[in-house]
A = this chain, B = another copy of it.
Amino acid sequence: MSHLDDVLAYLDAHRTEARERLFQWLKIESISTDPAYKSECVKAAEWLKAELASLGVSAEVAPTDGHPVVLGSIEGRAKKHALFYGHYDVQPVDPLNLWESQPFDPQLVTLDDGRHVICARGAADDKGQVMTFVEACRAWKAVTGSLPIGVTFMIEGEEEDGSKHLPDFLKSHRDRLRADVALVCDTSMWDQATPQITTGLRGMVYEEVTIKAAIRDLHSGLYGGGAQNPIRVLTKILGDLHDAEGRVTLHGFYEGVPETPKQVLDQWASLGLTSESFLKPIGLSEPAGEKGRMLIEMVQSRPACDVNGIVGGYTGIGAKTVIAAEASAKVSFRLVGDQDPTKIRDAFHAHVRARLPKDCTVDFISHKGSPAITLPFDMPDLVAAKSALHDEWGVDAVTLGSGGSIPIVGDFKKILGLDTLLIGFGLDDDRIHSPNEKYDVRSFEKGARSWARVLAAFSE
Contact = CB atoms under 8 A, between A and B. Distances in A.
B304 A309 contact: no
A231 B227 CA distance: 24
A367 B202 CA distance: 44
Contact of A33 (B316, B327, B358, B432): B316
Given A278-B226, A289-B225, A334-B224, A433 B235 contact: no
Given A33-B318, A217-B433, A306 B403 contact: no
A367 B315 CA distance: 15
19 contacts: A34-B318, A216-B283, A216-B435, A220-B332, A222-B404, A223-B282, A226-B298, A228-B286, A232-B241, A234-B235, A236-B239, A279-B359, A286-B358, A307-B312, A308-B324, A309-B314, A310-B312, A311-B311, A322-B434
A171 B288 CA distance: 51
Given A286-B358, A330-B313, A302 B35 contact: no
A317 interface: yes
**Chain A interface category by residue count:** 35 or more
A214 B433 CA distance: 14
Interface string A205-228: 010100001111111111111111
B330 A162 contact: no
A94 interface: yes
Contact of A232 (B35, B91, B307): B307
Interface string A7-26: 00000000000000000000
Given A225-B289, A238-B232, A310-B235, A92 B334 contact: no
Interface string A180-211: 00000000100000000000001010101000
A381 interface: no
A138 B288 CA distance: 66
Contact of A327 (B161, B202, B310, B404): B310
A431 interface: yes
Contacts of A405: 221, 321
Nearest to A313: B309
A436 B218 CA distance: 12
A260 interface: no
A218 to B, nearest CB: 6
Given A215-B282, A226-B298, A320 B221 contact: no
B224 A299 contact: yes
Nearest to A246: B225
Nearest to A201: B221
Interface in A398-436: 402-405, 428, 431-436
Given A225-B299, A402-B221, A310 B308 contact: no
Nearest to A286: B358
Interface in A66-86: none
A303 interface: yes
A322 B307 contact: no
| Residue of A34, A94, A290 ringed by the most chain B CB atoms within 10 A | A94
A216 B309 contact: no
A6 to B, nearest CB: 37
Contact of A322 (B218, B309, B367, B404): B309
Contacts of A303: 225
Interface string A258-290: 000000000000000000001100111111111
A249 to B, nearest CB: 12
Contacts of A165: none
A33 B239 contact: no
Nearest to A206: B319
B288 A229 contact: yes
B302 A324 contact: no
A285 B315 contact: no
Given A310-B327, A322-B434, 16 more contacts: A91-B320, A92-B320, A160-B320, A217-B433, A218-B282, A225-B288, A226-B304, A227-B288, A229-B288, A229-B307, A231-B238, A234-B235, A235-B238, A309-B322, A311-B312, A320-B433
A232 B315 CA distance: 18
